[in-house]
Amino acid sequence: MIIVMARGASDADIAAVVEKIRSAGLAEHVSRGTERTIIGAVGDERTLTADMFEPMPGVERALRVVKEYRIVSREVHPGNTVVTVRGVPIGGKAIQVIAGPCSVETPEQMLASARAVREAGCRLLRGGAFKPRSSPYSFQGLGVEGLDYLQQASRAEGLPIVTELMDVRLLDTFLEYDVDVIQIGTRNMQNFDLLKEVGRINKPVILKRGLSATVNEWLMAAEYIAAGGNHNIIFCERGVRGFETAYRNMLDVTAIPVLKRETHLPVIVDPSHAGGKAWLVPALAKAAIAAGADGLLVEMHPNPCEAWCDADQALNPDELATLMRELAPLAEALGRTL
């Protein structure tokens, strides 16, 4: 950490800062310029925060040099991490597409969905048993009954499942149903109690980006999970809130290479929630893969016109199969497989 002293800071002010650095177990490096004095804290600066110094007399500002996130940082783990879900690798050479309906509706709907997902060449099944909705009057999901339908369909087609956990009190239920990948949704990205709890289990976690979260806030949220001992984390970009109304959210394609530079963990993209329209999904999916994403989270419904949730953004089975065929040469051009 670098502490910049204000112009005219006294020797006593400088000495107080030095003493605080030493009391934290670090050493100091003092550089006295013609106008300002700069003090560097030498050692593991993660024990320090800007708030420790900025209120002190004579301090203009404090700047962190080392990143606050440790475990998820590429600095401490230069190679790419591959998260394996029942033998399916996420983050390696293969690009994985996770597909399925927004919400679990009926056993028949889930069986048809799982069959279409497998036939299209996707290797993981998604489905929402518990749904976070903007309106309290909208369909909130079938709950535990939905988990049962989801598991029945996944076993029938041999697909691992991905589903969203909203309430920490339901974590044990998710474990009882042996959910393969727990999704932490956009609105819970900074639900720190929930992050801590999924950090204590050994289940892969997809962490979606918050509606207005910065990349640093997103990385710090992942650090909460990793700090608990669970390093099986997958980042999911799903669009951020912008000013445009022509589409649902603004897909931040730039975040993909930025994350790949900052973290060793896999990065996937949800083009369905970003665009909000089925016709936008293929273009956004291709852009995500071209930018370096390790996979996609795509909504597909056997009959989108009858979907109970997010009908506009769901592909039908034929559209999903077409998308997979179109993505294959792109993956090959990038030296990857689909």
Q: How far apart are CA 39 and CA 46, in angstroms?
A: 16
| Phi/psi at 4 (5° precision) | -95, 120
Q: How confident is the model at residue 284 (pLDDT cuts 50, 70, 90)?
A: very high
What are 79-108's pLDDT values in tens digits? 999 999 999 999 999 999 999 999 999 999
Q: Count of domains in the chain?
A: 2
What are 60-85's pLDDT values in tens digits? 999 887 777 889 999 878 899 999 99
Whether residue 19 is found in the same domain as residue 130: no
The 2-5 sheet, strands edge to edge: 27-32, 37-42, 2-5, 59-63
Q: How far apart are CA 20 and CA 52, in angstroms?
A: 9
- How high is the mean pLDDT of the chain? 94
pLDDT of residue 34: 82
pLDDT of residue 137: 61
Is the residue at 21 inside a domain?
yes
Lowest mean pLDDT among 42-51, 176-185, 198-207, 276-285: 42-51
Lowest mean pLDDT among 38-47, 261-270, 320-329: 38-47
Is the residue at 76 inside a domain?
no
Could you tell me the CATH number of the domain that includes residue 304?
Answer: 3.20.20.70
* Structural domain containing residue 34: 2-63
- Which one, of 315, 268, 316, lies nearest residue 288 by Cα? 268
Which pTM value belongs to this model? 0.85
Could you tell me the CATH number of the domain that includes residue 51?
Answer: 3.30.70.1140
Whether residue 155 is found in the same domain as residue 274: yes
Average pLDDT over residues 193-213: 96
pLDDT of residue 13: 95
Q: Amino acid identity of 335?
A: G
Longest dimension (CA), the chain: 76
Pairing of strands 2-5, 37-42: antiparallel
What are 289-316's pLDDT values in tens digits? 999 999 999 999 999 999 888 889 999 9
If 0-12 CB within 10 Å is exposed, 13-18 middle and 19+ buried, where does residue 187 land?
middle
**C-alpha pair distances (Å), 248 with each of 217, 243, 272:** 22, 10, 9
> Is the per-residue pLDDT at 38 higher than 90?
yes
